[in-house]
């Protein structure tokens, strides 16, 4: 059985209390914080029946490994999610659901990963996929930035990203990569199909083999002096355009 982990911040802890209160071992809170936001949070926690423990700021910082805990941290049991990408895709096929996946190549910054998970959750993406050796893993910082999305969006770290893209294509999932030099733009592309959007890290972009493994390359139009967007912003632009076309 997996050992308990720590999550922190109002959003991350609040989402866990809302979606899986039985997995919360205890919630530690800074009793010196008596503002409206803390009072609302405490009321929700008490309604959910979770165990509440007073703690000072120093203990919360040590527990969470961050000063950005907002006065709230929780020890939680891991939630059992879909065990594999194949299992997730088979479930989508069984329910005749058109897949929407976000693939990240080389995103190693936990703040970027957390923001990508958050936007993936907001746009209704079914999973985020990344290579094991060129990506950030889920940690407390990722969970904090993701504002609860690290608990709701499956995150699969695969051994060989190019092979995984090949397997997606075998399932008739169209793999669309973003590249500054692509002739077609996001808004000229049909995203109303089983889709995997593939984005590389800011600056380096996708690795060459990842790029070659895509069915199509598209660009995000840039009208100003800045040449590219942060990967989490680019993910949001692409995912929400897919959501707009599909709706």
How many whole angstroms separate alpha carbon 191 and alpha carbon 199?
15
How many whole angstroms separate alpha carbon 122 and alpha carbon 156?
18
Same domain flag for 21 and 95: no
Q: Enter the tokens of residue 32.
A: 């010196």
User: How much is the CA Rg of the chain, to the nearest whole Å?
Assistant: 19
Residues within the annotated binding site for S-adenosyl-L-methionine?
A: 200, 220, 229
Residues within the annotated binding site?
A: 200, 220, 229
Residue 186 gets which letter from DSSP?
G
Side-chain-side CA neighbours of residue 36 (13 Å) = 0
Smallest Cα–Cα separation from 51: which of 80, 81, 77?
A: 77
How many whole angstroms separate alpha carbon 173 and alpha carbon 214?
11
Q: Enter the tokens of residue 120.
A: 């993936």
Same domain flag for 226 and 194: yes
Same domain flag for 64 and 11: yes
Cβ atoms within 10 Å of 219's Cβ, excluding its own: 17
Range of the domain at 195: 85-246
Which residue, of 21, 43, 76, is where some domain finishes? 76
Which residue, of 54, 76, 98, is where some domain finishes? 76
Digit-coded pLDDT (tens) for 199-246? 998 777 899 999 999 999 999 999 888 878 899 999 999 999 999 999
How many whole angstroms separate alpha carbon 31 and alpha carbon 54?
6
Same domain flag for 166 and 120: yes
Digit-coded pLDDT (tens) for 76-119? 987 666 678 999 999 899 889 999 999 999 998 989 999 999 99
Highest mean pLDDT among 14-23, 73-82, 114-123: 114-123
What's the whole-model pTM score? Answer: 0.72
CATH of the domain at 177: 3.40.1280.10
Helix, strand or coil, per DSSP, at residue 25: strand
200 contacts 178 by C-beta, under 8 angstroms: yes
The helix or strand, by DSSP H or E, that contains position 29, with its residue range, turns out to be strand 24-29
Which residue, of 48, 76, 104, is where some domain finishes? 76
Same domain flag for 191 and 208: yes
Domain count, the chain: 2
Digit-coded pLDDT (tens) for 32-70? 998 999 999 999 999 999 999 999 989 998 888 877 889
Same domain flag for 63 and 89: no
CATH of the domain at 24: 3.30.1330.30
Same domain flag for 93 and 200: yes
């Amino acid at each position: 059985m997996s050992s308990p982990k720590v999550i922190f911040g109002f959003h991350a802890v609040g989402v866990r209390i809302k979606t899986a209160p039985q997995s919360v071992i205890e919630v530690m809170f800074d009793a010196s914080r008596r503002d409206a936001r803390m009072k609302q949070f405490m009321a929700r926690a008490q309604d959910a029946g979770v165990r509440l423990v007073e703690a000072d700021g120093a203990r919360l910082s040590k527990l969470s490994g961050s000063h950005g805990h907002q006065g709230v941290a929780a020890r939680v049991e891991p939630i059992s999610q879909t065990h594999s990408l194949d299992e997730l895709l088979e479930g989508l096929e069984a329910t005749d659901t058109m897949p929407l996946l976000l693939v990240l190549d080389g995103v190693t910054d936990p703040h970027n990963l957390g923001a990508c998970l958050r936007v993936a959750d907001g746009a209704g993406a079914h999973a985020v996929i990344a290579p094991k050796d060129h990506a950030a893993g889920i940690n407390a910082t990722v969970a904090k930035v993701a504002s609860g999305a690290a608990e709701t969006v499956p995150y699969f770290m695969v051994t060989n990203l190019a092979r995984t893209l090949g397997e997606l294509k075998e399932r008739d999932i169209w793999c669309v990569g973003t590249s500054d030099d692509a002739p077609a733009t996001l808004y000229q592309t049909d995203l109303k199909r089983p889709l995997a959007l593939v984005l590389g890290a800011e600056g380096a972009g996708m690795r060459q083999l990842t790029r070659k493994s895509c069915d199509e390359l598209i660009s995000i139009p840039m009208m100003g002096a800045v040449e590219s967007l942060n990967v989490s912003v680019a993910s949001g632009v692409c995912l929400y355009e897919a959501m707009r076309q599909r709706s």
